[in-house]
């Protein structure tokens, strides 16, 4: 095989040229910033960068000594698990039903894909308005039913709020993949099972769910990455990490320290830690979880 | 190719033309964070200045909230295209002061351009705040505010609380809140800018230090000390009021202001700059009063703390551009301009002349309560009340928010929360001192 390919690309540089556009994008938008983060994490500077000092690992030592930073790992773990589990199971359910719908399916699908077009900060604000203790429609209804909703001071309520917003935002993306996955399952398999007398629930668990496992695995990785990196807009708009620090996940602190408090060294050190966590999580997922996936 | 050359020639001609008009009128970029009513005010100031002379054109650009415009300016400075004038909030003052070489002291800009600059014309609290420990005034005072107390007169009447003699002390506030609650009011008291009003301004109002080194005014080696018995007592009181439903927490920064304007909450402590909003949008009679205090504390009430923003001149520009900045600042220093700004926005009159002019115009008599902020500020300040100027202040404010929320939620005692603010805040102050000393 490989010999054949070499014959095909007679010029040694042609394959390089062909991957150059993609490689350039990766270098400019991933490797270069990542390298800069690594360098900055070893420096401390004033806000305007007029004096830069190499401090070795001091930024990391500061993080290690900060009990609130360590606490934020727990918060992030809880948040990511909720977002990934809820996001995947809800969208799988929705995709299953959307796949079964025969009339007006385009309409339903369009509606379900819609939230993906909404910016994270806007999603945060929408949910904040719905659940704001003073003016929120939903919180008003909850209070009418005797449920004292207060996301401003109750940590569990605040966590529920940001999880809901983050899941809502991601459901469309998951939904699209699950729908495509379901549609690629040969109808004959399901029909055969139906003839044998398997009900819809039984058919789902024994045929569709196992055949969706590559999709589910892919989405698990992506949702965890999403929860870790892409959710600071939602947190910033909905809770600002409060009450206390109870919804301040790692990436929110990176954003806050870097862009609001202008502590670039500390913020860069946190991004490096975050990068290491996500890389190792992805490795673990590919090495251990992937073995259980049927392709 | 021929065609290409023609296009090039045209391009060069256009570029030369642009240079030519730029020489005719020098443009001054002014980045600010004023929105709505206050945004119109900033635009009018620039418009009137541009109409008053021909040499310079001031272009105000809204760059987002205070922290966003500061982040924007940091990025622009690093890339070499900072604006000429940057509006920075009080929380960013220590950072700007410590960034040597980034800004040009306002006094230097004025004298280089041949204008006189006399810091003593400013209200002492204002001038003192923007003066570095070495005695040099670094930025141009622009919109200064302070903390005041607003109350809903209609709600007070319904609850049988006197509107003629509104509560002046914290025990009286608690009493009024209890009456409001008894009359069925769901939110007797709320608090905006909790760290600013209940720790920072609370400290200067009681002539008590919240940080050493005169609250950081004398140097970078300041450390937080706001776990004194007085602070613990106050936060404990508020915590108890929260438990009893007398004080209802409505969020960080100025988010709680909406609950006062809507009539949901009957009393609020917040910025004097809130006046324009209430006057325009509240559908009830409201009153303005001084920030509550504890009558048994010796030296209270002193003066409330200064907030708001000032204008900083960024370095690395051409000398004729600095001349334009100076001319604009000279225009802004006119007492009539300042007095009009004060009446329009609710920000403080920043000079004594502007204050006297406003008084003579009868504005305070026609609009009772508008002089509250002025009277709280135009006093001789002490070393403990001059202002609060700390490094990494944005983060310290957030720590204050986070810890106070724990008290309001009943998760931490007042002492525990204040101790925690000091512990985490001081780590930030130490780091700020380390990165900025020796420059």
Q: Which pLDDT value is given to residue A121?
A: 81
- pLDDT of residue B24 exceeding 80, the answer is no
Q: Which pLDDT value is given to residue A113?
A: 85
pLDDT for B54-101, tens place per residue? Answer: 999 999 999 988 888 988 998 899 888 899 999 999 989 988 988 888
Q: How confident is the model at residue A263 (pLDDT cuts 50, 70, 90)?
A: confident
This model's pTM is above 0.90 = no
The distance of B434 to chain A (nearest Cα, Å) reads 9
Q: Which residues pair with B310 in a beta bridge?
A: B88, B141
Q: How confident is the model at residue B185 (pLDDT cuts 50, 70, 90)?
A: very high
Q: Does A36 touch chain B (CB under 8 A)?
A: no
The distance of B251 to chain A (nearest Cα, Å) reads 6
- pLDDT of residue B3 exceeding 70, the answer is no
Q: How confident is the model at residue B22 (pLDDT cuts 50, 70, 90)?
A: very low
The distance of A38 to chain B (nearest Cα, Å) reads 19
Q: How confident is the model at residue B5 (pLDDT cuts 50, 70, 90)?
A: very low
Q: Between B418 and A114, whose confidence is greater?
A: B418
Q: How confident is the model at residue B255 (pLDDT cuts 50, 70, 90)?
A: confident
Average pLDDT, stretch A89-110?
86
A-interface mutation test, from B65, B255, B260, B405, most A Cβ less than 10 A away:
B405
Q: What is the mean pLDDT of chain A?
A: 87
By C-alpha distance, which of B43, B107, B104, B95 is closest to B70?
B95
Q: Which pLDDT value is given to residue B274?
A: 87
- Report the 3 state secondary structure along chain A: CHHHHHHHCCCCCHHHHHHHHHHHHHHHHHHHHHHHHHHHCCEEECCCCCCEEECCCHHHHHHHHCHHHHHHHHHHHHHHHHHHHHHHHHHHHHHHHHHHCCCCHHHHHHHHHHHHHCCHHHHHHHHHHHHCCCCCHHHHHHHHCCCCCCCCCCHHHHHHHHHHHHHHHHHHHHHHHHHHHHHCCCHHHHHHHHHCCCCHHHHHHHHHHHHCHHHHHHHHHHHHHHHHHCCHHHHHHHCCCCCCCCCCCHHHHHHHHHHHCCCHHHHHHHHHHHHHHHHHHHHHHHHHHHHHCCC
Q: How confident is the model at residue B403 (pLDDT cuts 50, 70, 90)?
A: very high
Residue with tokens 């998951």: A174
User: Looking at chain B, which residue has its C-alpha nearest residue A44?
Assistant: B435
Q: Which pLDDT value is given to residue B110?
A: 93
Taking CB atoms and an 8 Å limit, are A154 and B392 in contact across chains?
no
Q: Which pLDDT value is given to residue B18?
A: 47
Taking CB atoms and an 8 Å limit, are B258 and A135 in contact across chains?
yes
Burial zone of B70 (CB within 10 Å; 0-12 exposed, 13-18 middle, 19+ buried)? buried
Q: Which pLDDT value is given to residue B205?
A: 94
What is the rounded distance in angstroms from the CA atom of residue B48 to the CA atom of residue B28? Answer: 14
Task: State in Å, rounded, how far the first CA of chain B is from the last one.
Answer: 55
Q: Between B21 and B380, whose confidence is greater?
A: B380
Q: Does A144 touch chain B (CB under 8 A)?
A: no
Q: Between B38 and B200, whose confidence is greater?
A: B200
What is the rounded distance in angstroms from the CA atom of residue B128 to the CA atom of residue B387? Answer: 8
Neighbours of A24 (CB within 10 A): 10
Whether B311 contacts B381, CB under 8 Å: no
CB pairs under 8 A between A and B: 91
User: Looking at chain A, which residue has its C-alpha nearest residue B100?
Assistant: A50
The distance of A244 to chain B (nearest Cα, Å) reads 4
The distance of B75 to chain A (nearest Cα, Å) reads 8
Q: Which pLDDT value is given to residue B68?
A: 86
Q: What is the mean pLDDT of chain B?
A: 89
Q: How confident is the model at residue A287 (pLDDT cuts 50, 70, 90)?
A: confident
- pLDDT of residue B125 exceeding 70, the answer is yes
Q: B89-98, B194-203, B417-426 — which is least confidently predicted?
A: B89-98
**Closest to A48 (Cβ–Cβ): which among B74, B264, B405?**
B74
Q: A20-34, A101-115, A256-270, B235-249 — which is least confidently predicted?
A: A101-115
Q: Which pLDDT value is given to residue A293?
A: 66
**Closest to B435 (Cβ–Cβ): which among A45, A242, A261?**
A45
By C-alpha distance, which of B348, B396, B395 is closest to B375?
B348
Sign of CA dihedral B368, B369, B375, B377: negative
Taking CB atoms and an 8 Å limit, are B102 and A68 in contact across chains?
no
Average pLDDT, stretch A17-45?
91
Taking CB atoms and an 8 Å limit, are A46 and B98 in contact across chains?
yes
Average pLDDT, stretch B250-265?
91
How far CA B161 is from CA of A95, A266, B151, B154, B188, in Å, comes to 60, 51, 11, 10, 12
Crossing angle (nearest 10°) for helices B229-243 and B414-436 = 130
Taking CB atoms and an 8 Å limit, are B394 and A259 in contact across chains?
no
Half-sphere exposure of B11 (CA within 13 A, CB side): 6
Q: Which pLDDT value is given to residue B4?
A: 47
What is the rounded distance in angstroms from the CA atom of residue B199 to the CA atom of residue B214? Answer: 15
What the block records as the tokens of B173 is 């506030």
Taking CB atoms and an 8 Å limit, are B251 and A152 in contact across chains?
yes
What is the rounded distance in angstroms from the CA atom of residue A242 to the CA atom of residue B259? Answer: 19
Q: How confident is the model at residue A120 (pLDDT cuts 50, 70, 90)?
A: confident
Average pLDDT, stretch B113-121?
89
The distance of A155 to chain B (nearest Cα, Å) reads 9
Taking CB atoms and an 8 Å limit, are B403 and A244 in contact across chains?
yes
Neighbours of A132 (CB within 10 A): 23
What is the rounded distance in angstroms from the CA atom of residue B72 to the CA atom of residue B90? Answer: 17
B-interface mutation test, from A52, A132, A134, most B Cβ less than 10 A away:
A134
User: Looking at chain B, which residue has its C-alpha nearest residue A58?
Assistant: B431
**Closest to B394 (Cβ–Cβ): which among A48, A53, A261?**
A261
The distance of B87 to chain A (nearest Cα, Å) reads 16
Taking CB atoms and an 8 Å limit, are B435 and A62 in contact across chains?
no
Which residues of chain A lie closer than 8 angstroms to B71, CB-CB? 259-260, 262
Q: Which pLDDT value is given to residue B23?
A: 54
B-interface mutation test, from A129, A243, A248, most B Cβ less than 10 A away:
A243
A-interface mutation test, from B253, B409, B425, most A Cβ less than 10 A away:
B409
Question: Within its chain, how far is the Cα of B102 from the centroid?
Answer: 22
- pLDDT of residue A209 exceeding 60, the answer is yes
pLDDT for B207-237, tens place per residue? Answer: 999 999 989 888 889 999 999 999 999 999 9
Q: How confident is the model at residue A76 (pLDDT cuts 50, 70, 90)?
A: very high
pLDDT for B288-310, tens place per residue? Answer: 999 999 999 988 899 999 889 99
- Greatest alpha-carbon pair distance for chain A in Å reads 76
What is the rounded distance in angstroms from the CA atom of residue B146 to the CA atom of residue B205? Answer: 11
By C-alpha distance, which of B230, B206, B168, B375 is closest to B302?
B206
User: Looking at chain B, which residue has its C-alpha nearest residue A244?
Assistant: B402
Q: Which pLDDT value is given to residue B172?
A: 96
Q: How confident is the model at residue A3 (pLDDT cuts 50, 70, 90)?
A: very low
Taking CB atoms and an 8 Å limit, are A44 and B408 in contact across chains?
no
Q: Which residues of B touch A (CB under 8 A)?
A: 67, 70-71, 74, 77-78, 95, 98-102, 249-252, 258-259, 262, 264, 392, 394-395, 398, 401-403, 405-406, 408-409, 411, 424, 427, 431, 434-436, 439
**Closest to B405 (Cβ–Cβ): which among A53, A242, A262?**
A242
**Closest to A242 (Cβ–Cβ): which among B78, B101, B402?**
B402
Q: Which pLDDT value is given to residue A133?
A: 74
Q: Which residues pair with B189 in a beta bridge?
A: B247, B267
Residue with tokens 């589910």: A216
């Amino acid at each position: 095989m490989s010999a054949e390919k070499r014959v095909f690309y007679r010029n040694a540089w042609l394959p390089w040229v062909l991957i150059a556009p993609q490689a350039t994008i990766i270098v400019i938008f991933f490797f270069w910033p990542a390298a800069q983060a690594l360098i900055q994490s070893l420096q401390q500077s004033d806000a305007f960068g007029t004096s830069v000092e190499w401090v070795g690992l001091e930024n990391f030592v500061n993080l290690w000594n900060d009990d609130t930073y360590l606490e934020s790992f727990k918060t992030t773990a809880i948040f990511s698990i909720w977002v990934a589990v809820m996001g995947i199971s809800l969208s799988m359910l929705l995709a299953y039903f959307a796949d079964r719908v025969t009339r007006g399916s385009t309409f339903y699908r369009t509606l379900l894909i819609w939230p993906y077009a909404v910016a994270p900060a806007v999603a945060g604000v929408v949910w904040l308005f719905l659940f704001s203790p003073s003016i929120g429609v939903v919180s008003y209804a909850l209070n009418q039913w005797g449920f004292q909703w207060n996301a401003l001071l109750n940590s569990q309520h605040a966590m529920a709020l940001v999880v809901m917003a983050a899941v809502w935002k991601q459901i469309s993306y998951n939904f699209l993949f699950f729908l495509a996955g379901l549609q690629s399952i040969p109808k004959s398999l399901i029909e055969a099972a139906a003839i044998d007398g398997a009900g819809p629930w039984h058919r789902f668990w024994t045929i569709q769910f196992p055949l969706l496992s590559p999709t589910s695995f892919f989405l698990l990785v992506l949702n965890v990455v999403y929860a870790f990196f892409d959710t600071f807009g939602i947190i910033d708009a909905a809770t600002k990490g409060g009450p206390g620090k109870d919804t301040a996940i790692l990436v929110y602190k990176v954003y806050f320290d870097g862009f609001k408090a202008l502590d670039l060294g500390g913020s860069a050190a946190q991004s490096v830690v975050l990068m290491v966590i996500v890389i190792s999580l992805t490795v673990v997922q590919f090495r251990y979880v992937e073995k259980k996936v049927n392709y | 190719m021929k065609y290409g050359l023609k296009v090039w020639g045209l391009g060069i001609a256009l570029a030369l033309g642009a240079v030519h008009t730029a020489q005719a009128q020098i443009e001054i970029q002014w980045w600010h964070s004023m929105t709505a009513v206050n945004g119109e005010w900033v635009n009018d100031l620039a418009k009137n200045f541009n109409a008053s002379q021909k040499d310079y054109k001031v272009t105000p650009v809204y760059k987002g909230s205070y922290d966003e415009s500061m982040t924007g300016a940091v990025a622009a400075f690093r890339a070499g295209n900072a604006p000429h004038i940057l509006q920075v909030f009080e929380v960013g003052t220590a950072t700007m002061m410590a960034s040597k070489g980034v800004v040009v002291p306002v006094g230097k800009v004025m004298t280089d351009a041949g204008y006189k600059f006399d810091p003593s014309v400013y209200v002492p609290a204002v001038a003192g705040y923007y003066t570095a420990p070495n005695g040099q005034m670094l930025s141009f005072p622009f919109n200064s505010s302070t903390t005041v107390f607003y109350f809903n007169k209609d709600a007070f009447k319904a609850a049988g609380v006197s509107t003629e003699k509104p509560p002046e002390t914290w025990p009286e506030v608690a009493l009024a809140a209890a009456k409001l609650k008894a009359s069925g009011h769901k939110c007797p008291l709320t608090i905006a800018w909790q760290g600013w009003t209940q720790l920072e301004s609370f400290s200067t109002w009681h002539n008590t230090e919240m940080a050493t080194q005169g609250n950081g005014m004398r140097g970078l080696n300041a450390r937080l000390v706001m776990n004194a018995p007085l602070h613990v007592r106050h936060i404990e009181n508020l915590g108890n009021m929260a438990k009893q439903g007398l004080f209802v927490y409505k969020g960080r920064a100025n988010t709680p202001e909406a609950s006062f304007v809507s009539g949901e909450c009957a009393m609020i402590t917040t910025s004097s700059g809130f006046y324009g909003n209430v006057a325009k949008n509240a559908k009830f009679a409201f009153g303005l009063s001084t920030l509550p205090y504890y009558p048994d504390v010796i030296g209270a009430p002193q003066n409330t703390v200064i907030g708001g923003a000032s204008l900083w001149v960024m370095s690395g520009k051409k000398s004729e551009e600095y001349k334009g900045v100076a001319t604009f600042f000279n225009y802004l220093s006119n007492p009539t301009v300042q007095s009009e700004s004060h009446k329009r926005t609710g920000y403080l009159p920043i000079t004594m002349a502007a204050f006297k002019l406003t008084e003579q115009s009868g504005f305070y008599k026609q609009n009772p309560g508008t002089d509250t902020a002025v009277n709280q500020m135009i006093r001789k300040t002490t070393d403990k009340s001059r202002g609060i100027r700390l490094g990494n202040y944005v983060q310290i404010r957030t720590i204050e928010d986070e810890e106070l929320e724990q008290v309001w939620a009943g998760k931490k005692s007042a002492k525990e929360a204040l101790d925690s603010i000091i512990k985490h805040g001081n780590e930030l102050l130490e780091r700020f001192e380390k990165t900025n000393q020796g420059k």
